[in-house]
Amino acid sequence: MNKFKQLANETAIYGLSSIIGKAINFLLVPFYTEKEILQVGEYGIVTELYSYVAVLNVLYLYGMETAYFRFASRSKESEEQIYSNVFSSVLITTTILTTLLVTSATPITNWLEFPGREYFVYWFAAIIAIDSIMAVPFVKLRHEQKAGQFAAYKLVNICLNLGLNIFFLYFCKNIWNGTFLYEWKETISYVYNPSYNVEYVFISNLIANACYLFLLSGVLRRVRFVINFQILQPMLIYAFPLLLSQLAGNFNEMFSRMMLKKILPDGFYAGFNNQEALGIFGACYKLSMIMTLAIQAFRYAAEPFFFRESGAQKSKETYAHVFLYFGIFGLFSVLAIGLNLDIIKHIFLRDEDYWTALHIVPILLMASLFLGLYYNLSIWFKITDKTYFGTIISVSAAIITIGLNFLLIPYFGYEGSAVTTLIVYFYMCLFAYFTGRKHYPVRYNIKKIGFYLLLTTILLCAGWNINFPSGMITQVLKEGLVVLFVLIVFMVERKKLKLNKN
């Protein structure tokens, strides 16, 4: 149980930064969805551009994060040598890719249908470059198990980003418009451009990211610029399948937001153009990210934990227990969020236009759960160095994602995209599970997970059909279904919990 406590403690710390950080970012969702701050179409721009950033971040790092963990724990070379070589490699490739982006700004903005806004590309090129270069020092902190330091730096960045958004989009805008403190108008004119609006979302991100250069200066000073191909070559060979896998994985998640505007027929949603439909979809997708942030926190701690455990005698038993408990927690989250959307929508989606897509949130939550289960199942090909299986799974999933989105979006809109996401992540789980049974068999309790999945689905359907004249009574009954799930889990798992405690 000490191993589980260690994983739980590290997950809690990483989760603290992720959950608090995402919670702070979630404060931006109701902020952005206020009509006075961003219009629905402007939120569509935010959704679209950040979907490309997510894919480019993977390309910039090309699997070197996982390779760092793999070789720092087993390589004959010193950890400092590996750190310097990885950092130097990422720095060189980041410089090349950033140069390509900047010099291609005009055709990129024309294709995105933002003509004359080349500065979008310049800003995002800088954001991604800083993210990528600083990712290596952050990986070093994770390897050295400095979770507190990792969390603190992430939170500083997120709080600064939040503060700058509020400063530019609320205070400066209202001062300029004369809502309050009009006498400060001349002062803020030095930092505020009234012709900008959504632009300040990106400017705030850029300034906050630049702060990493100062926060991580101590870790950066330990870097020596060096390229040793004897060290880098096996790492690159190991990382390349991971690059394809992660690139395809992010493509699976982001493709709908990258291409919805172009695939969706004009006028599909009455009263909304395609850019606005993308904004509505993006805001509701954001609600499903509550599950994703838990997965992210888990991955930060679990990936190095799984590698450390790979040589232990009962490592497979450990993996099976982690899989089960993660699944239970994920299903509880799906149920709790899915049955409280009538409350959540008033908090996070301030403009009722966004509520038109609220019904896709439970589908996306379940999809995120399967993605988390896939991360558990995929550990087998990472610790056995058969990472090409991850590539096969992710690339085939990306092909399915493209095909189903092109097939379903023209007929079902973003509802078709949500269903596609669920199908693809379920497929990835099945592929990872059955290939793992052959190459690295772990006795996962699939029947029990299946039982809890069925139970969650039944309770969700029951909750959606509760509709009393009194909204309070309806909500109390829905909360009762969540409590019922917890009680059933406790009754089923209590014997095992007692054994583990002993």
Is the pLDDT at 456 greater than 70, yes or no?
Answer: yes
What is residue 10's predicted lDDT score, i.e. its pLDDT?
Answer: 58
**CA-CA distance, 233 to 236, in Å (whole number)?**
5
What is residue 238's predicted lDDT score, i.e. its pLDDT?
Answer: 84
Is the pLDDT at 4 greater than 60, yes or no?
Answer: no
What is residue 327's predicted lDDT score, i.e. its pLDDT?
Answer: 92
Q: Are 11 and 301 in contact (CB under 8 A)?
A: yes
Is the pLDDT at 161 greater than 90, yes or no?
Answer: yes
Q: CA torsion sign, 123 to 128 to 129 to 131?
A: positive
Q: Are 338 and 362 in contact (CB under 8 A)?
A: yes
Q: What is the DSSP letter of 169?
A: I
Number of neighbours of residue 283 by Cβ within 10 angstroms: 27
> Which bin fits 178, alpha (ψ -120 to 50), beta or left (φ > 0)?
left
**CA-CA distance, 433 to 445, in Å (whole number)?**
11
Paired tokens of 160: 């600064």
Please count the structural domains in the chain.
1
Is the pLDDT at 75 greater than 60, yes or no?
Answer: no
**CA-CA distance, 22 to 44, in Å (whole number)?**
20
Question: Which residues, at least 6 apart from 390, have a Cβ–Cβ distance to it below 8 Å?
Answer: 241, 242, 245, 378, 381, 382
Q: Is 93 exposed, middle or buried (0-12, 13-18, 19+ CB in 10 A)?
A: middle
- How much is the mean pLDDT over the chain? 87
Q: Are 156 and 215 in contact (CB under 8 A)?
A: yes
- pLDDT more than 70, % of the chain: 88
Mean pLDDT of 375-379: 86
CA distances from 153 to 83, 108, 125 (A): 19, 32, 22
**pLDDT (tens digit, 9 = 90+) per residue, 396-432?**
999 999 999 999 999 999 999 999 999 999 999 999 9
Q: Write out the residue range of the structural domain in which residue 52 sits.
A: 2-501
What angle in degrees, to the nearest 10, is found between the helix axes of 118-143 and 274-309?
20
Q: What is the DSSP letter of 226?
A: -
pLDDT tier at 139, thresholds 50, 70, 90: confident
What is the rounded (10 degree) CA torsion for 205, 243, 247, 96?
Answer: 50
What is residue 170's predicted lDDT score, i.e. its pLDDT?
Answer: 95
**Amino acid letter, 202:** F
**Amino acid letter, 115:** P
**Amino acid letter, 343:** I
Question: Which residues, at least 6 apart from 495, have a Cβ–Cβ distance to it below 8 Å?
Answer: none
Q: Is 450 exposed, middle or buried (0-12, 13-18, 19+ CB in 10 A)?
A: exposed
Mean pLDDT of 3-22: 59
Question: In 349-470, where does DSSP find H-type helix?
Answer: 361-377, 379-383, 388-412, 414-439, 446-464
**pLDDT (tens digit, 9 = 90+) per residue, 213-231?**
998 888 888 888 889 888 8
Q: Are 383 and 333 in contact (CB under 8 A)?
A: no
The b/e string for 12-43 (b: 16+ C-beta within 10 A; e otherwise) is: ebbbbbbbbbbeebbebbbbbbeeebbbbbbb
**pLDDT (tens digit, 9 = 90+) per residue, 30-64?**
899 998 999 999 999 999 999 999 999 999 999 88
Question: In 144-228, where does DSSP find H-type helix?
Answer: 147-166, 173-177, 185-188, 199-210, 212-215, 217-220
**pLDDT (tens digit, 9 = 90+) per residue, 297-350?**
676 666 666 766 665 667 788 888 888 988 998 999 999 999 999 888 888 898
pTM of the predicted model as reported, rounded to 2 decimal places = 0.85
What is residue 499's predicted lDDT score, i.e. its pLDDT?
Answer: 52
